[in-house]
Amino acid sequence: MPFLQWSDEFSVNVREIDEQHKRLVGMINTLHEALVAGRGKETQGKIITEMVDYATVHFSTEEKYMRIYSFPGHAVHKAEHDGFVGKAADLKARVDGKGFVLTINVLNFLKDWLQNHILVTDKQYSSYFNSCGLR
């Protein structure tokens, strides 16, 4: 069983964004698998770097649509993205410094943040984007 299981409950009904969310879920699961297999230290740098870089791409996609469709919650949503980017950059810096070792606490943070962000924050734009014709 995956550490974080994708389900239709996570769907925001925008194909591009759902696919990006699925990829982020997959990255968290890959990190978990590496930790469980005892390969966390050797794979953490590559996977966390990829995750941080991809999260930036994903946030840009969401924010692009918020601007295009004048989503009223854009500023608050962007602030949440910016907060995560700051934490992710700190995590990446610790990994790059070689003093960091992946733990279940870090994985739980990533899992909880992504779940809550999708289920609470991202769901706020779902029907709005759909009403603008974005699917």
pLDDT in tens, 7-39: 999 999 999 999 999 999 999 999 999 989 988
Cβ pair 34, 24 in contact under 8 A: no
What are 86-110's pLDDT values in tens digits? 988 888 888 888 776 778 888 999 9
The pTM assigned to this predicted structure is: 0.93
Q: What percent of the chain has pLDDT over 90?
A: 72
CATH class name, domain 12-131: mainly alpha
Distances (CA, A) of 51 to 18, 55, 63, 84: 16, 6, 18, 12
Judge whether residue 48 has pLDDT over 90: no
Distance CA 111, CA 131 (A): 29
User: What is the domain partition of the chain in residue ranges?
Assistant: 12-131
Residue 115 confidence (pLDDT): 96
Helix (H, G, I), strand (E, B), or coil: what is residue 117?
helix
- How sure is the predictor about 47, in pLDDT bands with cuts at 50, 70 and 90? confident
- How sure is the predictor about 132, in pLDDT bands with cuts at 50, 70 and 90? very high
